[in-house]
A and B are shown apart, each in its own frame.
Chain A
Amino acid sequence: MDNVVELNNVTKQFKDFSVKDLNLQVKRGFVHGFIGANGAGKSTTIKMMMNLLKPDAGEVKVFDLDYKKYEKTIKERIGFVYDGNVFYEGLNLKDIKRIVAPAYKHWDNALFSHYTSQFELPMNKSIKNFSKGMQMKASLAVALSHHAELIIMDEPTAGLDPIFRRELLGLLQELMIDGNRTIFFSTHITTDLDRIADYIAFIHKGKLIFDKSVHDVAENYAIVKGRTDLLDQDTEQAFFHIHRAATGFEGLTDDVRNAERTFGGEVVIERASLEDIMYYVKGGLQHV
């Protein structure tokens, strides 16, 4: 299987925060979700993918090419959407088309008209009078109109209402019918991913916790609930953070079969949602 993006041992150090030794592969033809709490390093990672930040160490390859030599070629093939307005606020979509179109070899006016009318975007109204959802649609329309193979989105659904979020997910799925397109997007709204993501990468405090297919996540992670007297130094090893209460314990495991062997029918084992996983991992890494 070929990767459209590869991060190999990527490290970026800031004063009070760092992304450490990150390895990530984004596979062609799939939707790759990127989750993590605010400040976990999602945007930093995406900026390195886009060459807006240079890593201190490690290697970033997009379409198997190196930014040092092929920046323009790479950028031609990426559609980038991020949270917030990319454009000068005083401009309208007509102006933006005039400015952006010449920058891309494969700009497609017909496609741009198609998306702007599908998204019901006014061409003559200045962007500053657009709602948050409309601004998002506008940057998406631009990103989709130069036949990008890779769509990278940083928090595209943040601040959008649930109806538009669903519409957006439907649209993304439509894009995926063409098997050559890849979508990588970060979000902390994990329900967006439950529906459409094929792979999930989870970053926590600058470290990648996992990068797996949704099946691997669903088949290995689980919430285990049971009586507190089942816990001892050995059995506790099976869990990330354990939540204890007078009524019993709840813990996250990444090896559900092991938990089944250890506790047998003594506990309730439930599927862990991405939100559960984020919550428990944030609670502390006990055995990692």
Chain B
Amino acid sequence: MQIIISNSSKEPIYEQITNQIKSSILTGELQEGSPIPSMRKLAKDLQISVITTKRAYEELEKAGFIYSIVGKGSFVAEQNLEVIKEKKLKVVEEQLNEVIMNSREIGLSLDELQQLLKILYEE
């Protein structure tokens, strides 16, 4: 599992960890049921405090991305609805970005785009 931490980023370190693990799960790089390092091991590897990795794992657990078994460690959870939703949302975001880029290229304003979207959405 590869995680790159930026110390100069505005994004808190625990968020950098949760986001990178999430994206590894969403891209399928981390498979369902596969073990991830203990939070203490991860803290040592990333040279950060235990409480930071602890917080990252707690957030991931809350969001249903991983689960922990006392004495055994943490594992990638079965993908639940919310995870799938987030996965889809990410795709939608990417597609919308493309739409925005295309619109800008032809000088379509945000208002015009929103109108177009409204019409198509309600169809």
Contact = CB atoms under 8 A, between A and B. Distances in A.
A277 to B, nearest CB: 17
Given A177-B44, A179-B40, A214 B52 contact: yes
Contact of A196 (B12, B38, B47): B47
Contacts of B52: 198, 214-215
Contacts of A195: 47-49
Contact of B48 (A174, A196, A199, A213): A196
Contact of B47 (A31, A169, A218): A169
A30 interface: yes
B40 A198 contact: no
B55 interface: yes
B43 interface: yes
Contacts of B43: 173, 176
A215 B51 contact: yes
A74 to B, nearest CB: 24
Residue among B14, B41, B47, B49 with max Cβ neighbours from chain A (10 Å): B49
A173 B12 contact: no
B44 A198 contact: no
Contacts of A198: 49-52
Contacts of A156: none
Interface in A128-185: 169-170, 173-174, 176-179
A174 B47 CA distance: 10
Interface string A89-116: 0000000000000000000000000000
B40 to A, nearest CB: 5
A176 B52 CA distance: 13
Interface of B: 12, 14, 38, 40-41, 43-44, 47-52, 55
Interface of A: 29-31, 169-170, 173-174, 176-179, 195-199, 213-215, 218
Closest 6 CB pairs between A and B?
Answer: A198-B51, A173-B44, A177-B40, A198-B49, A196-B49, A198-B50
